[in-house]
Amino acid sequence: MGMLCSKCKTPRSRVTEYDKALLQRKQQRDNIKKYQKKIEENLQNDRQLARKLLKDGQRDHAKIVLRRTKWQEQILQKTECRLNTLERLLTNMELSQIICS
């Protein structure tokens, strides 16, 4: 009877602050990659829309769409910079953990 209520003798692995920080950074990286993919899809759709509008003779509307694509390209460049910075941070964190161990 006592065995049912006794605690497990195997030691549990502890989650450290480092592990939490590393997980959070990896989640940020994944979210940025999803965001980049979404922007790239929007860019592709907008370029197709601009071509269609030009064929239909709606040049002014096509210009507006192309301005939006230029703005999205700038956002994409900024997210790439953020992603590179985050990747370097992750690499440094993992490397410092290996060195300290």
Q: What is the pLDDT of residues 57-92, one digit of tens each?
A: 999 999 999 999 999 999 999 999 999 999 999 999
The first and second tokens of residue 26, run together, are 């990896």
Give the model's confidence band at 8: pLDDT under 50 very low, under 70 low, under 90 confident, else very high. low
CB count in 10 Å sphere of residue 50: 21
> What is the chain's length?
101
**Local confidence band at 14 (pLDDT 50, 70, 90 cut-offs):** confident
Nearest to 42 by CA among 76, 84, 77: 76
- Count the neighbouring beta carbons within 10 Å of the beta carbon of residue 65: 20
Yes or no: say if 15 and 73 are a contact pair by the CB < 8 Å rule.
Answer: no
| Structure tokens given for 30 | 């994944």
The average confidence (pLDDT) of the chain is 91
